Amino acid sequence: MTDTQSLHSLPLFPLNTVLFPEGLLSLQVFEVRYLDMIRKCQHAYAPFGVVALQSGQEVRKAGAQTERLHSEGVLAHIARLDSPQPGLLHLQCKGVQRFHIQRCWQLPHGLWVADVAMLPDDPKVTVPKHLIGTSHALAQALLNLHSHDPDHAQLPTPTQMHDCAWVANRWAEMLPLPVRVKQQLMTLDAPLLRLELIADVLEQSGITGSGPQEEA
């Protein structure tokens, strides 16, 4: 998929969370509008779009606030799909590429669809020495998560651990940040700035120390 490609009538899954490129997201699907969407995407090997809600709820309820969507989201491909009982799907999807919504509308049964323009992939920027601590701490955190839940935690490759965007994105997924902050981080076009902002949060949380750290 090229950076300038557009997709028309992309089905959307609005959530109170943010998916990042190469990130994993587990979902339980039971609403009719999404059961039908997921089955069609699975059959066609097609992606859907995960987009964060500005207002409204993930599950439709009578009298609920109108759903308003952020303008940027991430394409998701279904990595695994299970149906433990009728009317319920468990799926794991993986983030692929960011997109910008050019226009969106709701179908009669409530499903959001959109015409979207794909955004460029993050450039490959090597983690600088003064931020190596964020990579080391991430590797340990992912190892701990993988030991408890190997199906929902990624073990990084050396290449990924030296990539600013990959390290920043994994931290942004794990940290308990407000959705609006995660959305801002996802839409930043500068991976180094994204990682520097994450490093500030980690330092304030006491997860990593400040100052230059030499690579082991």
pLDDT value of position 58: 75
pLDDT value of position 7: 92
Condensed to tens digits (0 to 9), the pLDDT of residues 81-114 reads: 999 898 999 999 999 999 999 999 999 988 999 9
Q: Is the pTM of this model over 0.75?
A: yes
SS3 at position 163: strand
Q: Which structure tokens are listed for 139?
A: 């590797």
pLDDT value of position 34: 93
* Tally of residues, the chain: 216
pLDDT value of position 61: 67
Condensed to tens digits (0 to 9), the pLDDT of residues 111-168 reads: 999 999 999 999 999 999 999 999 999 999 999 988 887 766 778 899 999 999 999 9
What is the DSSP code string of 101-144?
Answer: EEEEEE-TTS-EEEEEEEPPPPP--BPPGGGHHHHHHHHHHHHH
pLDDT value of position 4: 58
Q: Which structure tokens are listed for 129?
A: 């020495």
pLDDT value of position 207: 79
Task: Report the alpha-carbon distance of residue 182 to residue 168 in Å, rounded.
Answer: 11
Domains of the chain: 6-118 (2.30.130.40), 129-205 (1.10.4060.10)
- Is 146:133 a contact under the CB 8 Å cutoff? no
Condensed to tens digits (0 to 9), the pLDDT of residues 4-57 reads: 589 999 999 999 999 999 999 999 999 989 999 999 999 999 999 999 999 887
Condensed to tens digits (0 to 9), the pLDDT of residues 11-23 reads: 999 999 999 999 9
User: What sign has the CA pseudo-torsion 113, 94, 144, 174?
Assistant: negative
